[in-house]
Every structure is written in structure tokens, then in C-alpha cells.
Amino acid sequence: MQRPDAHFMRRAIELAEKGRGAAAPNPTVGAVLVKHGQIVAEGYHTACGQPHAEIECLRNAAENGITPADCTIYVTLEPCNHYGKTPPCSKAILDAGIKRVVIGLKDPNPKAKGGADFLREHGVHVETGVLEAECRDLVADFLTWIQTPYPYSILKLASTLDGKIATRTGHSQWISGEESRKRVHELRKKVDAVIVGGGTFYADNPQLTCRLEGVEQQPLAVIVTKRLPENPEQFTLLCDRPEQVIFWTNEKSALSDAARKLQSSGSTVLAVPEQNGELDLAAGLSWLRQEKNCLYTLCEGGGKLALSLLENMLVNEFQLHMAPKIVGDHSAPDIFSGRSIATMDEALQLRIIKTELSGDDVIVTLRRQEM
């Protein structure tokens, strides 16, 4: 891989991120057109149903008076090779006279792949695999949607430097700083559902809303618990927006008087199958995707639920908000607990894909090792 290729692909990745969310359920894709070592046109997939990144880039070239035939196009995902809501980008590139195409990731979608081969067959020089890992991370949500029945699941937890999520008395407000808390609301704005465990629901009485300006639709609130509330009027969620609250529980609780009371107020009580005495979280996530059309979910804890999601490989992205604070109390609750392992080989292995400062905090974004 030539160093300039990586430089230009990195810019295409930056552009692709601008379409994050709006492009769903399509992948986020960016493209740049380069002539004599300079970027002369740019484009990204702005929204589902709108032109793809390559087309936007070619349009930008026309606006700038650039002849594409003299250029190399860099695109984060293999140009599509089928007629969907838009014509194939592979043909548009060929018609533009472009002689060199550099691709980050080959398209994993069997309906759209084949653009690279089509271009090669028509005499275009095509290179693939430039910043492939970064381009794969760019479309991790899209890969989830085409390869699994689940939404793209984000796990967010806040902890101190010594891995505590509260004091021994349960006091946790606030571990992270104001800027990090704002980031959480930005996350809530982008997802279709926010998921918490029963412990968090009962201890914190959360609102689970996005409190940023301009929010038209609040995310669904999903509570994972075998113990349903007997007095719904004590909980903010069930007073303010009961029709947007979903309880995942076991079959026994789903048939209880508490369940009927919740349902009469507009909430949904879903009987989730149990495996080894634990609720089948995969079944719940699949239900959210199929029945509620949820593409993105955000889990905000607690630790037991978070660990279960990680152990069952149901976390696509883990954001750890780490505050520069130390509790130093072994009785304070840990961010994760409940496993018993003998060697480090048994530890859950994640990989860091990004670290960034957020006020005084550090946000570490991770994925599973195999993703």
C-alpha cells in the first residue's frame, strides 16, 4: 500500500462519518477524487435513498470543473454493482472514464458486491484492502444488520480509574463529567432504544430520555428484569411515557397481576425465553429489530446486564467513560463482576479502536476481538 493511498482513504473515512445514522440501513460510505496528488472532489452517502458516495463525488467534480478521467477515485466500500434505489456506482465510475479505483473494503452484501470485478473486466485498475480494518469498523453497523437478526448494540458504562461504578452506598452521581454526560444524550439521540437492567431501574428511577434540543422522538426504554414493579406510579418512566416502555421478563412474571397493570397503562411486557436461569437477551434484541424496527440500541447498565451482553457476544461497540477518580473501596460495586476464571486466557478479550478526551474524562471505544 502506498502511503498517499492511506492518506486519501483516511479522508474518505472522515467524510463517510458525516452520514452516520442518516444513511441507515445503508452503509456509511465516503469517496474522494484525486488528481496529481490533490483532492479535487469529495462525496459521501448523505441519507438512505439519496445518491451513493461515488455519485456525490462525481457531482462535486462536475461542480468544480474537474474531468474525472484524469483522476483516481478512493472509496471506503466497494462500488455497488446492482440496480437498487439507485443505478450501480460501478457503471457510473466506468462511464466517467476513471482509470484507477482504490477500495477500502470489498462489499460483504451479496446483492451489491461485484463492482471491483466489473471494473477490472472493463480495463480499470482496481486496488482493494487500503485501510481495510478501519473501513470495516466504519460499516460495523451495516455488517450487523446483514449478518445477524439483531440491532447494532452499543454498551456505555462510566467508571472510576479503579473500575467502580458507585460507592458502597450506591451513590453514583456523578462519576463522569458534564461533557461526558452530554455525550450520552447525543448517543440517546441516535439510537432507537435504551436498555437498562432492573437494578438500575429500581435504584436510579431513570428517565432514559435525550435531553438535547430538537429531539422529535425519544428512544424506547427497555427494562430487563424478572421482578416487575408493583407500583408503577413511583417511577418517572411509567408516569411520563408508559407507552414507550418495554419490560423483558420471564414467562411467570409476564402472566402476573403486575404485568397486567403495566399493560393496561400502555407499557409492553415481553416474555423472554430463559437459558440456564437467565433471560435470553438475544431473543429480546431480535424482537426489537423485527417488531420495533430498531437498528441501534444503547445499553447503559448495570454491570450484570452489561457483562451478560458481552459474554453472549451481543455488544457491537463498547464505550467506557473513565473518570480520573479513585474510590479505593473493595466493597464498592465493580464495573463488571460475577465471573470466576482461573487463567487470563479465559478473560473476555476486546480491542481498542479509539480513545478520546471528554472534558476531564477519557472515552475508550472498544469492540470484540473478532470484529
Is 208 known as a binding-site position?
A: yes
Task: Give the start-end residues of each E strand in the chain.
Answer: 30-35, 38-44, 72-77, 100-105, 125-127, 152-159, 193-197, 220-224, 245-249, 268-271, 274-275, 278-279, 296-299, 317-322, 350-358, 361-368
According to the annotation, is 155 in a ligand binding site? Answer: no
* Cell 473486466 found at: 121
Whether 255 has a binding-site annotation, put simply, is no
Q: Is 338 annotated as a binding residue?
A: no
> Is 299 flagged in the annotation as binding?
no
| Residue 54 annotated among the catalytic residues of the structure | yes
Rounded Cα distance, 168 and 148, in Å:
39
Strands 274-275 and 268-271: unpaired
| Ligand-binding site membership of 5 (annotated) | no
On whether 304 is known to bind a ligand per the annotation, the reply is yes
The answer to whether 200 is a known ligand-binding residue is: yes
> How far is Cα 303 from Cα 281, in angstroms, rounded to an integer?
15
Which of 42, 54, 56, 78 does the annotation list as catalytic?
54
Q: Is 107 marked as a binding-site residue?
A: no
In the DSSP assignment, the letter for residue 164 is: B
Q: Where are the alpha helices (DSSP H) in 148-246?
A: 178-190, 198-204, 236-240
Describe the crossing of helices 53-63 and 3-17 by its angle, rounded to 10 degrees: 100
The verdict on whether residue 306 carries a ligand-binding annotation is yes
Provide the annotated active-site residues: 54
Annotated binding site for substrate: 172, 188, 208, 211, 300
Annotated binding site: 52, 80, 89, 158, 172, 174, 188, 200, 204, 208, 211, 300, 302-308
